[in-house]
């Protein structure tokens, strides 16, 4: 298929109503419609879905989209259906469908109406699905959240490991598109290797978030008071506080409330009704602060979160980046404050001790990077971006002055040493 630039813009407008591509979207889409294997690395919110949705809508045949979460698939299918009047343009194929529904999905693929077929990796392993898809015109295969393939990623899924062999069975020459928001070189290497696409055209967006201010403070027994002071200095602003345990979430939320701060707890131990109530209150600005475990945040798009505080340091730089990334989505101020004590690292090490040795080794290596980040005296932005394989100019780079180490350089004897408690 040959598509000019103008065509793509027209299609973008027609299907999505947008007049501009975001970031590298146009380049990615051009690569996909040319039938190339492609690898897309963009931060969360970068607009990865459109990179495969638009080509799927304009190409002949059905694009298969592998996605790890049923909820994510459902959202996407609903969104696609709302932009296209054609019934059956997008489907989910999973174990929740009954026989009649499966037959309908397959009929829509055979007739060519179905442009996007969302599947969980385990549905793809089903023999009759593979046999069926083998006979169909498949435009390409997109693997969303492709980091699930790697043990070095934050969300390893063993089922993702078998994708390569299944794809081969469906068709040897189907272009593969892998997409992820995980920027570490190790995970990227794993993805390309596992999918057998070393030749993929790679599109990597910058992970720099110039409007975020990074700060690490030593964690003392007065950490709760430090947090209260910070919030009072930022009163009226929205923020998230991450804690490691549900117990601490409850305790801290209560402490904040007692101190006149409008805060609610959020963790997976709360019933679904309460969770969604607290989430809505935060989105509607009825409350200012959510104290949460990592259960909070996936898919939450509040543009004006002004601070993200880590009461406990997370287990990897990756997680830290994802969690702090929820601040300042609108481009406005976003203060990322982490409280750090080496004791917390030891605690995290201890949690891992029951796990298989290989997992422990990976976990340990990831934690050591967190220690290095917390204790560094160089620009924190430079550290994070270097971790993601990105060069950052600490003098002239965007956001270069936005961290504690740059604003208040440590004296030599303080730098790099252990934090005293």
Contacted by 77, from Mg ion, ligand ADP, none: CB < 5 to 8 Å by type: none
Range in contact with Mg ion (rule: CB under 5 A) among 5-13, 44-52, 90-98, 381-389: 44-52
Which stretches does DSSP call E strand in 62-174?
62-66, 90-93, 116-119, 138-143
Q: Segment 57-96, which members bind Mg ion (CB under 5 A)? A: none
Q: Name the residue whose CB lies closest to Mg ion.
A: 48
Contacts of 142 (CB under 8 A, 6+ apart): 52, 56, 63, 64, 65, 66, 176, 177, 178, 179
Question: Shortest gap between Cβ of 183 and ligand ADP (angstroms)?
Answer: 12
Under rule CB under 5 A, how many of the chain's residues touch Mg ion? 1
Out of 3, 9, 11, 22, the only residue in the binding site for ligand ADP (CB under 6 A) is: 22
Q: How far apart are CA 31 and CA 204, in angstroms?
A: 13
Binding to ligand ADP (CB under 6 A) within 38-77 occurs at 42, 44-50
Minimum distance from CB of 75 to Mg ion (Å)? 10
Alpha-carbon dihedral 273, 279, 281, 282, rounded to 10 degrees: 170
Q: Which of 253, 83, 327, 64 is nearest to 174 (CA)?
A: 64
Q: Is 194 in the site for ligand ADP (CB under 6 A)?
A: no
Q: Please, what is the Cα angle at 288 between 283 and 293, to 5 degrees?
A: 80
Determine the interface stretch with ligand ADP among 37-45, 164-172, 356-364, 387-395 (rule: CB under 6 A). Answer: 37-45
Judged by CB, which is closer to Mg ion: 104, or 206? 206
42 binds, among ligand ADP, Mg ion, none (CB under 5 to 8 A by kind): ligand ADP
Residues 371-390 as x/- pattern, contact with ligand ADP by CB under 6 A:
--------------------
Q: Closer CB to ligand ADP, residue 183 or residue 313? A: 183
CB-wise, 80 or 337, nearer to ligand ADP?
80
Q: Hey, how many other C-beta atoms are within 10 angstroms of the C-beta on 155?
A: 14
* Shortest distance, position 51 Cβ to ligand ADP, whole Å: 8
Closer CB to ligand ADP, residue 119 or residue 243? 119
Stretch that binds Mg ion, among 40-48, 74-82, 98-106, 170-178 (CB under 5 A): 40-48
Facing residues of 66 across strands?
119, 143
What's the burial of 94, exposed, middle or buried (CB within 10 Å: 0-12/13-18/19+)? middle
Q: Evaluate whether 191 touches 39 at the Cβ level (below 8 Å).
A: yes
Q: Least distance (Å) from ligand ADP to the CB of residue 241?
A: 23
- Is-contact 240 293, C-beta < 8 A? no
C-alpha–C-alpha distance, residues 18 and 12, integer Å:
6
Name the minimum Å distance from CB 302 to ligand ADP.
13
Residue 236 vs 299, nearer CB to ligand ADP: 299
302 is a site residue for ligand ADP (CB under 6 A): no
The CA distances from residue 153 to 102, 113, 148, 232, in Å, are: 33, 35, 6, 36
Element holding 277 (H helix, E strand):
helix 272-283
Task: State the residues that interact with ligand ADP by CB under 6 A.
Answer: 18, 20-22, 25, 42, 44-50
């Amino acid at each position: 298929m040959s598509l000019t630039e103008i065509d793509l813009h027209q299609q973008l407008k027609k299907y999505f109503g947008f007049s501009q591509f975001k970031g590298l979207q146009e380049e990615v889409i051009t690569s996909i419609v040319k039938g190339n294997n492609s690898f897309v690395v963009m931060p969360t919110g970068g607009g990865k879905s459109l990179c495969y949705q638009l080509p799927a809508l304009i190409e002949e045949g059905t694009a298969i989209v592998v996605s790890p979460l049923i909820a994510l698939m459902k959202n996407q299918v609903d969104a696609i259906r709302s932009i296209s009047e054609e019934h059956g343009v997008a489907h989910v194929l999973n174990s929740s469908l009954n026989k009649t529904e499966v037959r309908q999905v397959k009929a829509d693929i055979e007739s060519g109406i179905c442009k996007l077929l969302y599947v969980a990796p385990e549905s793809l392993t089903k023999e009759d699905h593979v046999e069926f898809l083998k006979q169909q015109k498949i435009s390409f295969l997109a693997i969303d959240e492709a980091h699930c393939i790697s043990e070095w990623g934050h969300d390893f899924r063993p089922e993702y490991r078998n994708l390569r062999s299944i794809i081969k069975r469906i068709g040897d020459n189907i272009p593969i598109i892998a997409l992820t928001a995980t920027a570490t070189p190790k995970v990227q290497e794993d993805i390309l290797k596992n999918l057998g696409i070393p030749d993929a055209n790679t599109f990597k967006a910058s992970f720099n978030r110039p409007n975020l201010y990074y700060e690490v403070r030593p964690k003392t027994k007065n950490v709760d008071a430090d947090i209260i002071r910070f919030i009072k200095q930022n009163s009226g602003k929205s923020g998230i506080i991450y804690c490691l345990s549900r117990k601490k979430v409850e305790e801290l939320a209560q402490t904040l409330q007692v101190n006149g701060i409008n805060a609610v707890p959020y963790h997976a131990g709360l019933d679904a009704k309460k969770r969604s109530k607290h989430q809505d209150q935060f989105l509607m600005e009825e409350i200012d602060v959510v104290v949460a475990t990592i259960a909070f945040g996936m898919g939450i798009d509040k543009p004006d979160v002004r601070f993200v505080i880590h009461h406990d340091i997370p287990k990897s730089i990756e997680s830290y980046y994802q969690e702090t990334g929820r601040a300042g989505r609108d481009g406005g101020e976003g203060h990322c404050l982490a409280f750090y004590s080496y004791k917390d690292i030891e605690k995290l090490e201890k949690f891992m001790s029951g796990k298989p040795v290989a997992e422990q080794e990976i976990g340990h290596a990831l934690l050591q990077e967190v220690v290095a980040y917390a204790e560094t005296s160089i620009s924190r932005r430079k550290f994070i971006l270097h971790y993601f394989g990105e060069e950052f100019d600490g003098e002239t780079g965007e956001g270069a002055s936005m961290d504690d180490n740059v604003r208040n350089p440590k004296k030599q004897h303080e730098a790099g040493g252990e934090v005293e408690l």
